[in-house]
Amino acid sequence: MSKNNLHLLKIIVMTLSKAEENYLKAIFKIAEKENKSVSTNAIARHLNTTAASVTDMLRKLSEKELITYEKYKGVSLSTSGNKMATNLIRRHRLWEVFLVNKLRFAWHQVHDIAEELEHIYSEELIARLDAFLDYPKFDPHGDPIPNAEGKFTIRNQTALAELFAGQNGIVLGVKDSRDDFLKYLTDMHIKLGSAIKIQKITHFDKSMHITIDERTEAVISHQVAMNLLVRIQ
Amino acid sequence: MSKNNLHLLKIIVMTLSKAEENYLKAIFKIAEKENKSVSTNAIARHLNTTAASVTDMLRKLSEKELITYEKYKGVSLSTSGNKMATNLIRRHRLWEVFLVNKLRFAWHQVHDIAEELEHIYSEELIARLDAFLDYPKFDPHGDPIPNAEGKFTIRNQTALAELFAGQNGIVLGVKDSRDDFLKYLTDMHIKLGSAIKIQKITHFDKSMHITIDERTEAVISHQVAMNLLVRIQ
DNA sequence: GTCTGAATTTAGGCATGTCTAAAAACAATT
DNA sequence: AATTGTTTTTAGACATGCCTAAATTCAGAC
């Protein structure tokens, strides 16, 4: 076997530690929002650690050619790093679907558990889980689940706040998936698939008077409406 | 809060590392077979590590009062250590049921994946998984799954080798759950619940001529018969 | 009871992933 | 272009969990 082939083998066989995986995921997520190379500080903030620790890890990930890193210039994922991060997101979201659809967890309870489950590495496990869940394209928060090749499904979705009085929307997901927001939605009986009809918008504060699933009347703030994603009917 | 209560709290809240959990499980399993205090070397063999590493860990587990340990005298699990180990076995076996019954993995594929899954700590996850699987009492190898209180279900099971010609047995599990044995059984179409009828026993080598599920005829060695557990019909 | 070989522990090291404190580099303003 | 404040990196430490090699303890044969 030539030296080149050995190099290839190394990449294929490489398995990452939980910490390394979490860094890749963090870089992916930050890069997704801010459209530029990712700063050391941003990663430290995201992972609740120090800039010094981040620098250490960046050196390591760079050696493994998972990121492109130049001192003081921020990082971006390499092709293989991107693949790894996408795969992690796939695993995370599939487990979330499992926890909600099969184990009947509530929206807001699943993130931390999925965070653990995603680090279990087995191609076959994920393939079988995917099949068991019937190849879901979106997770319980409405975020797209990349397929085995890393392709995300895209769909039209609009913040509820964009709609006018009289319009209808079907809830597809949320922009903010923090616990308290998800709990608030659950309390309001708003869930994935709920039909929202805008009855009236108060111009003063842009709060909306809505009907949920043709049953419940409610008033929601502009902030809530901005974080609810719907398909316009 | 008194000092005593704080002590109690510490025990309740304590979470263990993967390594610590694996040691507890190893001690439990070795103690189950050999009916005496567990030796350092036995643990090292079981975990594929060195005696020196084991000693280090025993000191640590002893400080946490999960084991009873005196230098040079072997170890045994304390009450709380036993509880932890039992709970781990519960998690492991529940995940194995999930992998086989829901994800349709084969018998021999599930051990390593369950080995990872068992370390995810969430009371609620396991409670919900248990319910989702319909509170199974035995895992895919026929080993009993302790309930949330740590109680194992006991049932009558006999090695197939104990039966006489003409007797019938229902396969309940295996004594040896190593890959190649499980694969062999799969190839022979022997699975949990299979009905085995003993047609004839060759005295010379105690091999058995059997009928499997009233369909397949086969000859199995004494060694195989000793590792197949059945309920006599 | 002493000896000898096996079992166990101690001592010292190493990799990983974290930290704090200090130094270096950068960028933005004057 | 110098200064200042922020960002990033380096240096040095620490905990965990593992290792090898050496010392110690034990247990069984004599």
Would A48 be classed as within a structural domain? yes
Would B147 be classed as within a structural domain? no
Would A206 be classed as within a structural domain? yes
Residue at which a domain ends, from B60, B77, B94:
B77
A113 to B102: CB separation less than 8 angstroms, yes or no? no
Q: Enter the DSSP assignment of B58.
A: H
Residue B20 identity: E
What's A29's domain CATH number? 1.10.10.10
Is any atom of strand C within 7 angstroms of residue A17's beta carbon? yes
* pLDDT above 90 coverage of chain B, percent: 85
Look at residue B1 and tell me whether its pLDDT is greater than 90. no
The pLDDT, as a whole number, for residue A3 is 42
The tens digit of pLDDT for each residue in B116-156 reads 999 999 999 999 999 999 999 999 999 999 999 999 999 99
Which pLDDT band, with edges at 50, 70 and 90, does B13 fall under?
A: low
Which pLDDT band, with edges at 50, 70 and 90, does B107 fall under?
A: confident
**Residues of B (17-46) whose Cβ lies below 8 Å from A:** none
Q: D18 C1' – A104 CA distance, angstroms?
A: 40
The pLDDT, as a whole number, for residue B14 is 80
Q: D10 C1' – A56 CA distance, angstroms?
A: 10
Is any atom of strand D within 7 angstroms of residue B63's beta carbon? no
Region A13-29: what's the mean pLDDT?
93
**Integer Rg of chain B from CA:** 21
Range of the structural domain that residue B196 is part of: 158-232
| CB-CB contact of A170 with A193 (8 Å) | yes
**Between A and B, how many residue pairs show a Cβ–Cβ distance under 8 A?**
35
Q: D27 C1' – A182 CA distance, angstroms?
A: 65
CA distances from B229 to A199, B134, B143 (A): 67, 23, 10
Q: How far apart are CA A174 and CA A140, in angstroms?
A: 9
Would A82 be classed as within a structural domain? no
Q: Provide ipTM, 2 decimals.
A: 0.87
What's A187's domain CATH number? 2.30.30.90
B104 to A129: CB separation less than 8 angstroms, yes or no? no
Would B192 be classed as within a structural domain? yes
- Nearest partner of B27 among B16, B18, B39, B15, judged by Cα: B39
| CB-CB contact of B58 with B78 (8 Å) | no
**Residues of B (97-126) whose Cβ lies below 8 Å from A:** 99, 102-105, 109, 112-113, 116-117, 120, 122, 124-125
For chain A, what is the mean pLDDT? 91
The tens digit of pLDDT for each residue in A198-218 reads 999 999 999 999 999 999 999
Region B10-18: what's the mean pLDDT?
72
Read off the tokens for B205: 């080598």
The tens digit of pLDDT for each residue in A117-135 reads 999 999 999 999 999 999 9
Number of domains composing chain B: 2
| CB-CB contact of B26 with B47 (8 Å) | yes
Reading phi first (left if > 0) and then psi (alpha if -120 to 50, else beta), residue B48 is in left
Look at residue B3 and tell me whether its pLDDT is greater than 70. no
Would B133 be classed as within a structural domain? no
> Smallest Cβ distance to A120: which of B104, B109, B116?
B116
Q: Enter the DSSP assignment of A37.
A: P
Residue at which a domain ends, from A27, A53, A77:
A77
Would A98 be classed as within a structural domain? no
Would A190 be classed as within a structural domain? yes
